[in-house]
């Protein structure tokens, strides 16, 4: 009897290996979809979530899971504004930049791997598709630092003296797009030489948030004073269109001083979503035609300053903490802290896990994904 029991146990232990050797397909690991929200992501206002990395379970209606510590705020000192967030599933790392530092976290262990401060501070960083290189803008300063993502070491610098601010790494890894707060020109750097090889514009005013399509032929930019956006040709460098929101008026904004601070392409590149701060709204445009045509608007719980999407494009994440179904254009959830307070942030992205390890990572900039 004892021998029989042992043989049965051996069979169950060896069965998976036998099935694999016989060519059976292993059962895929169930995926878990997580939203990472870096706070304080609205200036340094602690009322919108405090300090840390807040993690939400997308599959369970954006249920709060945990708060990962980032750095302490010494007594009597103000919290540091979080300026950017980036992640890469290949390396399993997530990066957060503040006005003073950049920190690297391991997505599996949730431990801090390294932390660096750079001359001139830091702003909204970007990571290469292979996860090896970071482009870190100084805080509205003269240069972008090209950084080894594994160690945080500075490899070289690109000095444009444009008020370094927003940064997008092209999806094929060959180009990086550099926008300064004091310039109407969008500069394009070659990632092999880390030198500027093209310029797009000038646009009608200084560039604020922007996005690009997947083929890197078009860019869509917010500019100062415009409730709307402008479209540029990434190949010729010419500005193509100026698109103004109709049916709404500019008004006072809580932050950024820009009527539209937030612009996003759905991954399928069929729609462009635009922030309208004064009217606490998002305006949706059809970008299957040029110039893009205004379709509808969505009212939010606060003034938006950023928009991004889930990896599959099914959900939109404005900085107000509203979660929007992109097909119905309805708010389906709101982000709340562990104490039930509203959470808002302009620095958030999705990470997908399988078998306890990251397999896909989204981007803070909602760029198109059509080749």
Per-residue buried b or exposed e for 249-278, using 16+ beta carbons within 10 Å of the residue's own CB = ebeebeebebbbbbbbbbbebebbbbbbbb
pLDDT level of residue 24 (50, 70, 90 thresholds): low
Tokens linked to 27: 């059962």
In tens, the pLDDT along 54-91 reads 999 999 999 999 999 999 988 889 999 999 999 999 99
pLDDT at 112: 98
pLDDT digits (tens, 9 = 90+) for 300-349: 999 999 999 999 999 999 999 999 999 999 999 999 999 999 999 999 99
CA distances from 157 to 135, 143, 154, 176, 188 (A): 9, 6, 8, 13, 14
Q: Reply yes or no on whether the pLDDT at 298 is more than 60.
A: yes
247-286 confidence digits (pLDDT tens): 999 999 999 999 999 999 999 999 999 999 999 999 999 9
pLDDT, tens digit, for every residue of 167-181?
Answer: 999 999 999 999 999
Beta bridge partners of 114: 104
Worst-scoring range by mean pLDDT, 14-23, 240-249, 269-278?
14-23
- What's the domain range around 193? 29-361
Within-domain flag for 11 = no
Cα distance between the two ends of the chain: 63
Q: What value does the mean pLDDT take over residues 50-54?
A: 98
Domain assignment present for residue 204? The answer is: yes
Long-range contacts at 219-226 (CB < 8 A, ≥ 24 apart): 219/177, 219/186, 220/263, 220/265, 220/272, 220/287, 221/179, 221/186, 221/263, 222/258, 222/260, 222/261, 222/262, 222/263, 222/274, 222/275, 223/184, 223/258, 224/257, 224/258, 225/258, 225/259, 226/259, 226/260
Q: What is the pLDDT of residue 5?
A: 47
The domain tally of the chain equals 1
Going by pLDDT thresholds of 50, 70 and 90, the confidence category of residue 95 is very high
Q: In what order do the strands lie in the sheet with 228-233?
A: 207-212, 218-223, 228-233, 239-244
Check if the beta carbon of residue 275 is closer than 8 Å to that of residue 260: yes
pLDDT at 27 (0 to 100): 60
In this prediction, residue 367 carries a pLDDT of 97
24 in a structural domain: no
For residue 354, what are the contacts with CB-CB under 8 A and spacing of at least 6? Answer: 28, 29, 30, 31, 32
How far apart CA 205 and CA 179 sit, in angstroms, is 12
Percent of the chain with pLDDT over 70: 92
- Domain assignment of residue 104, yes or no: yes
**Is the pLDDT reported for residue 365 higher than 90?**
yes
Q: Does 366 map to a domain?
A: no
Q: Tell me: pLDDT of 351 over 70.
A: yes
Read off the pLDDT band of 17 (50, 70, 90).
very low
Which of 43, 127, 61, 106 has its CA nearest to residue 344?
A: 43
pLDDT top residue among 20 and 280: 280
What average pLDDT score do residues 44-50 get?
Answer: 96
C-beta neighbour count of 64 within 10 angstroms: 18
pLDDT at 20 over 60: no
pLDDT in tens, 25-41: 556 689 999 999 999 99
Asked whether residue 157 is assigned to any structural domain, the reply reads yes
pLDDT for residue 341: 96
Note whether residue 18 is domain-resident. Answer: no
Whether residue 168 is contained in a domain is answered as yes
pLDDT on residue 75: 86
pLDDT score recorded for residue 47: 96
Question: Domain of 349: which CATH number?
Answer: 2.130.10.10
Q: What is the pTM of this model?
A: 0.92
pLDDT in tens, 112-158: 999 999 999 999 999 999 999 999 999 999 999 999 999 999 999 99
């Amino acid at each position: 009897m004892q021998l029989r029991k042992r043989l049965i146990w051996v069979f169950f232990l060896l069965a998976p290996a036998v099935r694999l050797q016989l060519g059976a397909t292993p059962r895929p690991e169930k995926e878990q979809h997580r939203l990472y929200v870096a706070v304080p992501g609205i200036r340094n206002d602690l009322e919108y979530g405090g300090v840390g990395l807040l993690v939400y379970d997308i599959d369970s209606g954006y249920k709060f899971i945990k708060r990962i510590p980032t750095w302490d705020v010494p007594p009597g000192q103000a919290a540091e504004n979080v300026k950017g967030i980036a992640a890469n599933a290949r390396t399993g790392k997530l990066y957060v930049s503040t006005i003073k530092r950049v920190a690297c976290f391991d997505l599996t262990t949730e431990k801090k791997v390294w932390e660096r401060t750079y001359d001139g501070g830091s702003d909204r960083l970007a990571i290469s598709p292979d996860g090896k290189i970071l482009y870190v803008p100084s805080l509205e300063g003269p240069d972008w630092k090209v950084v080894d993502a594994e160690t945080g070491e500075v490899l070289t610098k690109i000095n444009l003296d444009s008020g370094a601010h927003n940064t997008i790494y092209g999806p094929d890894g060959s180009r990086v797009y550099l926008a300064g707060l004091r310039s109407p020109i969008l500069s394009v750097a070659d990632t092999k030489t880390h030198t500027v090889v093209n310029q797009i514009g000038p646009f009608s005013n200084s560039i604020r948030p922007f996005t690009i399509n997947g083929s890197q032929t078009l860019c869509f930019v917010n500019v100062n004073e415009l409730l709307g956006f402008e479209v540029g040709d990434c190949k010729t460098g010419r500005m193509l269109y100026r698109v103004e929101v109709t049916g709404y008026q500019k008004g006072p904004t809580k932050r950024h001083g820009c009527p539209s601070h937030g612009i996003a392409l759905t991954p399928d590149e069929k729609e462009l979503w635009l922030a309208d701060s004064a009217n606490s709204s998002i305006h949706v445009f059809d970008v299957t035609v040029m110039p893009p045509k205004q379709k509808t608007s969505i009212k939010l719980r606060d003034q938006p300053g950023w928009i991004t999407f889930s990896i599959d494009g099914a959900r939109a994440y404005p900085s107000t903490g509203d979660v929007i179904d992109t097909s119905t254009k309805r708010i389906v959830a709101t982000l709340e802290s562990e104490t039930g307070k509203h959470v808002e942030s302009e620095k958030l992205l999705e990470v997908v896990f399988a078998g306890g390890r990251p397999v896909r990572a989204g981007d803070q900039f909602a760029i198109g994904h059509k080749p």
